[in-house]
Amino acid sequence: MNTATPSRKLTLNDIADLRAYERERPEFRARMIEVKRRRRVALGSLLTIMFENRDTMRLQIQEMVRVEKVLTDEGVLEELKAFNPMIPEPGQLCATLFLELTSEDQVREWLPKLAGLENSISLHLTDGSIVKGEIDAQHAAGLTRDDVTAAVHYLTFNFSQSQIETFASGGASVVCDLGNYPESADLSEITVGELLADLRP
């Protein structure tokens, strides 16, 4: 028996054209503000981790199409190609890592200090196991340098089945083990519940 689950990736049919999106946009954006609140984790004062799913990526694509006034299927397909890798399949979590730098002085100070940040994020489970954040290959080349980091990174966390069950029973903490920025944050029960929907089929 084939038990494979259908892909969660977005297709052309999932992306509304500009006029249709304008009609649904106020309600959709209001709903997504709450969804994103449950999926956002602050890691110290400078880092925010947003755990992405199909809806957050649809919002991202719809807003990009709206701002850029994309009218062709080809244009939408380019956005799908860019953002679909950030929709987790079962057994995965995908996250966008944002550096919250609000001044030029902060940018000059922290981007060099946080070089290697993208290799320093992991989820620590209650049984002692660690799920390391892996850099999304599609974005790595453009975002990663030895002497400076970027303001945005894309990470994937791949869980084993036993790790999913440990996560379900005890949650996890997000840890940055970079020497210049050692920080950790426990995931709330609400966030754990959200992320279990990503991890399970």
Q: Check residue 137 and give its pLDDT.
A: 67
What is the Cα–Cα distance from 72 to 69, expressed in whole angstroms?
Answer: 9
148: which residues sit within 8 A by CB, 6+ positions away? 111, 112, 115
Q: Check residue 140 and give its pLDDT.
A: 63
Predicted confidence (pLDDT) per residue in 55-106, tens digit: 999 999 999 999 999 999 999 999 999 999 999 999 999 999 999 998 999 9
Q: Check residue 6 and give its pLDDT.
A: 73
Predicted confidence (pLDDT) per residue in 138-196, tens digit: 666 655 566 788 889 999 999 999 999 999 999 999 999 999 999 999 999 999 999 99
Mean pLDDT of 108-130: 94
Higher pLDDT, residue 6 or 118: 118
Which sequence spans correspond to the domains of the chain?
Answer: 12-199
Q: Check residue 150 and give its pLDDT.
A: 84
Predicted confidence (pLDDT) per residue in 2-29, tens digit: 455 678 999 999 999 999 999 999 999 9
Please, what sign has the CA dihedral across residues 89, 44, 61, 148?
negative
Predicted confidence (pLDDT) per residue in 28-53, tens digit: 999 999 999 999 999 999 999 999 99
Q: Check residue 149 and give its pLDDT.
A: 85
Check pLDDT > 50 for residue 1: no
Q: Check residue 9 and give its pLDDT.
A: 96
Check pLDDT > 90 for residue 136: no
Q: Check residue 148 and give its pLDDT.
A: 81
Assessment of whether the complete model's pTM goes beyond 0.75: yes
Q: Check residue 147 and give its pLDDT.
A: 77
Backbone angles phi, psi at 168, to 5 degrees: -65, -35
Name residue 2's amino acid.
Answer: N
Supply the DSSP string of 7-41, one letter for each residue: P----GGGSPPHHHHHHHHHHHHHHHHHHHHHHEE
